[in-house]
């Protein structure tokens, strides 16, 4: 059986990236941590963290896991409300 994946015309992937970026920014700000300090704790460059928060970076599964670990939450919790 062959499966076909078609994305909605509304830009579903881009919307998910933006929503995840907003969630990351919200959690980071709630923790009272600067973007630069949080990027350092994840092992990311600050410019990469900026792209994540703006939703312009396509995160790998490893990157998503690193974010969750840095926040001290599960990957599932990171995606809550998206």
Give the pLDDT means over successive 10-residue stretches in the chain (82 positions): 62 82 97 97 97 95 97 96 86
What does the pLDDT read at residue 23? 97
What does the pLDDT read at residue 9? 55
Measured N-to-C along each axis, helices 46-54 and 35-42 cross at an angle, to the nearest 10 degrees, of 110
Cα 36 to Cα 18: distance, rounded to the nearest angstrom: 19
What does the pLDDT read at residue 57? 94
What does the pLDDT read at residue 22? 96
In the CATH scheme, what is the code of domain 35-82?
A: 1.10.260.40
pTM attached to this predicted model: 0.83
């Amino acid at each position: 059986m062959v499966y076909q994946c078609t994305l909605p015309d509304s830009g579903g992937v881009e919307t998910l990236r933006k929503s995840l970026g907003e969630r990351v920014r919200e959690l980071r700000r709630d923790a009272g941590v600067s973007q630069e300090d949080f990027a350092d704790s994840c092992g990311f460059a600050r410019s990469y963290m900026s792209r994540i928060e703006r939703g312009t970076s396509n995160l790998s599964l490893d990157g998503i896991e690193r974010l969750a670990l840095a926040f001290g939450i599960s990957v599932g919790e990171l995606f809550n409300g998206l």
